[in-house]
Structure 1
Amino acid sequence: MSDAAKTGGRQPGVGALLPVGFRDRLPPAAEAHSILTRTIVDAFAAHGYERVAPPLAEHEASLARWLGKPLGAALFRSPDPMTGDALALRPDITGQVARIAATRLSQAPRPLRLAYAGPVLRARSDQLDPARERTQAGAELIGNDSVAALAELIGAAVEGLTAAGVRNISIDLTTPELVAQLASVRWPVADSDALLAALDGKDWGALSSPEAMPYRALLEAAGPAEDALPKLAALAPDLAKRLSNLVETLPPVRVTIDPTERHGFEYQSWVGFSLFGEAEDAPLRGEIGRGGTYLVRHPDGGTEPAAGVSLYVDALVDAGLGASVRQRVFLPMGTPADAGARLRAEGWATVPALSVQDRPDGCSHIWDGTRPVARG
């Protein structure tokens, strides 16, 4: 049953309506959400990532500072009733982890491995996903943006997704800085906005001017890694070599490359990536994770290399993953307390009758006085 809860034929009143982009999670989806979040965080913990828990709201000016990424229309804003300061609800957790690394943990040994999980809120939904409240679970490796750092993060993410039930995981790599580098060094253009619009739209025809035509090579370099890397090597040999080394060290998953994809990668540096997968041989809707390399900005103006990945728990829940297998046993009136305690110790969920009229609805078993008996 989906989270658009069954109402028994009754139409919810106006007071029951939620704002656009928000929803309730009901049983069993709420339990699945908790299980999947724990599964993913445990996978990062097994790789040495320690949990941090930043607050849901911060000073508005602070949220964008540590990554140098404008957040603008993404922010829920509100004045602080206590101080009058401008507050905002976080649309992403990576920037908060960067703040912690640059301030509270600035003297901690590097590389610094931190994990997190929690809700994020956005003022507006996007075209592909109407949800404005989402859950992120991820990890950041502060102090290193090397191939080895990325391979470690992606490997941990793949382990977590696999443990959560995702199959046929694939990774799409992108190169957020490449177009700007080519425009400044190799193929200068007069109208950079028009160039970016053409590349965003994969519009071959719009790249017909003499100065824009060389950028068609970037569109041709998109595809499976084994096909894309030789083409990319002719345009940016050093970058192609790093990407080739990364592909060689990744888990055995399908890898594609799109050199022109940049939406959502505004603060990433030399590489970004998106994760996709399937549940029970059916593709999961959209991305199930995203990450890449970036720079943490310190209060003294310095920067520090970093890499990270965020996984989207809600997409996994919506695909039916994480369903609890704990069985529920109904305890009739008069069942001794020690019988219920023993069953719970064995992994059962016990549902005691509170009156003689209570029925075992929703339970898989009934206690017969000596053992749980499956309902017919």
Structure 2
Amino acid sequence: MTMIPPGLLPEGLSDRLPPQAEASARLTRRVLDTVASHGYERVMPPLAEFEETLVGRLKSVRAQDLVRVVDPVSQRSLALRPDMTAQVGRIAATRLAGMARPLRLSYAGPVIRLKANQLRPEREKLQLGAELIGSDGVAAAVEIVNVAIEALQAAGVTGITIDFTLPDLIDALAAGPLPLAAEEIEAVRSELDAKDAGALVAISPQAAAYLPLIEATGPFHAAMERLEALDHALGGAIASRIAGLRAIAKPIGWDINLTLDPTERHGFEYQNWFGFSIFAEGFIGEIGRGGSYAIAHADGTDEPAVGFSLYPDPLIDAGFGSDSPRRLFVPIGADAARTAALRSEGWHTVAALGAGEDGASLRCSHWLDGAEPRAY
């Protein structure tokens, strides 16, 4: 058998080394502290669950897409989590079912996928987020979107864009003012996602009626006007959704870019009336998403919820959260009380363990000269 080199890791998995590991922890702390300041309490679900339990709550991932193992204790299949939102939903529906609503929960931890995507080759990702459980109304949506923005700003992110979508819009229109045959619905969704007007028209005359939704895409206010024009032609069939989006967008700061793609479905398979993606200037692909959804309870009822998840690995790779700490080299024999006082002031002290150590080579910017730090 070929010997695996000791430093080799499976494809898509990697180590985080100094200073990125500390940057990751610092960015996570800033996000969680911001979320906690709005009343969200942290939960810590396990890395693996019974496969059947986890799959039952994952609406956008199939069992064959999970990393699975056999539990040597129960002899049952376990799955490593590809998403923490489903686990938070399980906790809310079981362990915390008796707590007062609305219930505000936050979380942070690694998730792992069986396969990576083309934009990000990593199979293991850091996921941070917050869920507001018990309501999916406009007030709850306003809160969750603005908490997500505030958390990113606290982490130093600028140039933020929020792209809104209406995940169940096609279903609502197909069942009402713009009827479609059952076999046409998925095709219409696909062509709207691709923004392919010609292919949409080729499906059927009924499908062609969805063409205005392609035009209702782009900068938020102009796109909303086109969506409102369509709604007027349909007799106000989606007026409540439009009013909801207007209300969510209203309190968002002027420095945040807003866009609309009303038929975007990729990544929003389990959201219902509204969803949003988060982008940041200088980064390819989204760094987070959120929206409204339903949590299934054991008695067959569904509970409304709204939340967001951030995937900050690209931010960490780009240096966000990597504020360099002040590292101070402490020679042998230095005053312990003075060294402790400097740590309380924010210095990171690196104590010499033997003669001849070089603080600069230990990545220290200063050394302790008697009682005072001196720059190298």
Q: 1:263 aligns with which of 266, 271, 274?
A: 266
TM-score by length of 1: 0.92
Structural mapping, 1:232-311, within 5 Å: 232-233=227-228, 234-235=230-231, 236-252=238-254, 253-278=256-281, 283-311=282-310
TM-score by length of 2: 0.92
SS in 1 for 2:272: strand
Structure 2 letter corresponding to 1:188: L
Q: Name the structure 2 match of 1:216.
A: 211
Deviations 1:72-103 (A, max 9, x none): 34311111011111100111111111111111
Q: Following the alignment from structure 1 to structure 2, what is the Cα–Cα distance between the partners of residues 85 and 96?
A: 19
Percentage identity across aligned positions? Answer: 49
Tell me if structure 2 keeps the 8 A contact 1:115–1:139. Answer: yes
Deviation at 1:30, TM superposition (A): 0.5
Tell me if structure 1 keeps the 8 A contact 2:55–2:63. Answer: no
Structural mapping, 1:52-63, within 5 Å: 52-63=43-54
SS in 1 for 2:86: helix
Kindly tell me: are residues 132 and 318 of structure 1, through their superposed partners in 2, closer, same or farther at Cα, counting changes over 3 Å?
Answer: same
Q: Following the alignment from structure 2 to structure 1, what is the Cα–Cα distance between the partners of residues 286 and 75?
A: 38
Q: Following the alignment from structure 2 to structure 1, what is the Cα–Cα distance between the partners of residues 189 and 85?
A: 26
SS in 2 for 1:65: helix
Q: Name the structure 2 match of 1:37.
A: 28
Deviations 1:335-366 (A, max 9, x none): 23223222212211111111112111111011
Tell me if structure 2 keeps the 8 A contact 1:187–1:214. Answer: no
Tell me if structure 2 keeps the 8 A contact 1:67–1:295. Answer: no
Q: Following the alignment from structure 1 to structure 2, what is the Cα–Cα distance between the partners of residues 16 and 49?
A: 39
Deviation at 1:202, TM superposition (A): 1.4
Does residue 203 of structure 2 align to residue 201 of structure 1?
A: no
CA RMSD of aligned residues (A): 1.5
Deviation at 1:326, TM superposition (A): 1.8
Q: Following the alignment from structure 2 to structure 1, what is the Cα–Cα distance between the partners of residues 273 and 251?
A: 17
Deviation at 1:193, TM superposition (A): 3.2
Deviation at 1:67, TM superposition (A): 5.7
SS in 1 for 2:175: helix
Deviation at 1:118, TM superposition (A): 0.7
Q: 1:81 aligns with which of 69, 72, 77?
A: 72
Tell me if structure 1 keeps the 8 A contact 2:60–2:267. Answer: no
Q: 2:146 aligns with which of 151, 155, 169?
A: 155
Q: Following the alignment from structure 2 to structure 1, what is the Cα–Cα distance between the partners of residues 318 and 142?
A: 27
Tell me if structure 1 keeps the 8 A contact 2:162–2:257. Answer: yes
Q: Following the alignment from structure 1 to structure 2, what is the Cα–Cα distance between the partners of residues 213 and 75?
A: 38
Q: Following the alignment from structure 1 to structure 2, what is the Cα–Cα distance between the partners of residues 103 and 272?
A: 25
Does residue 340 of structure 2 align to residue 349 of structure 1?
A: no
Does residue 14 of structure 2 align to residue 23 of structure 1?
A: yes
Structural mapping, 1:59-74, within 5 Å: 59-66=50-57, 68-74=59-65
Structure 2 letter corresponding to 1:229: M
Of 207-216 and 52-61, deviating more is 207-216
Q: Name the structure 2 match of 1:125.
A: 116
Deviation at 1:68, TM superposition (A): 4.5
Of 247-256 and 93-102, deviating more is 247-256
Tell me if structure 1 keeps the 8 A contact 2:65–2:115. Answer: yes
Kindly tell me: are residues 251 and 152 of structure 1, through their superposed partners in 2, closer, same or farther at Cα, counting changes over 3 Å?
Answer: farther
Q: 1:187 aligns with which of 179, 193, 205?
A: 179
Q: Following the alignment from structure 2 to structure 1, what is the Cα–Cα distance between the partners of residues 64 and 338?
A: 56
Q: Name the structure 2 match of 1:112.
A: 103
Tell me if structure 1 keeps the 8 A contact 2:82–2:113. Answer: yes
Structural mapping, 1:330-349, within 5 Å: 330-349=329-348
Deviation at 1:264, TM superposition (A): 0.7
Q: Name the structure 2 match of 1:102.
A: 93
SS in 1 for 2:241: helix
SS in 2 for 1:41: helix
Q: Following the alignment from structure 1 to structure 2, what is the Cα–Cα distance between the partners of residues 272 and 43?
A: 21
Q: 1:226 aligns with which of 206, 218, 221?
A: 221
Q: Following the alignment from structure 2 to structure 1, what is the Cα–Cα distance between the partners of residues 90 and 60?
A: 13
Deviations 1:142-179 (A, max 9, x none): 01001110111111111111111101211000111011
Tell me if structure 2 keeps the 8 A contact 1:144–1:306. Answer: yes
Q: 2:83 aligns with which of 92, 100, 109?
A: 92
Kindly tell me: are residues 103 and 302 of structure 1, through their superposed partners in 2, closer, same or farther at Cα, counting changes over 3 Å?
Answer: same
Q: Following the alignment from structure 2 to structure 1, what is the Cα–Cα distance between the partners of residues 286 and 158?
A: 14
Q: Name the structure 1 match of 2:234.
A: none
Q: Name the structure 1 match of 2:316.
A: 317
Deviations 1:29-59 (A, max 9, x none): 1100000000000111000101111111001
Q: 2:159 aligns with which of 150, 156, 168?
A: 168
SS in 1 for 2:210: helix
Q: Following the alignment from structure 1 to structure 2, what is the Cα–Cα distance between the partners of residues 161 and 71?
A: 30
Deviations 1:276-308 (A, max 9, x none): 123xxxx12321211000000000110011000
Q: Following the alignment from structure 1 to structure 2, what is the Cα–Cα distance between the partners of residues 318 and 285?
A: 13
- Paired residues, what number? 359
Of 89-98 and 363-372, deviating more is 363-372
Deviation at 1:370, TM superposition (A): 2.4
Tell me if structure 2 keeps the 8 A contact 1:175–1:260. Answer: yes
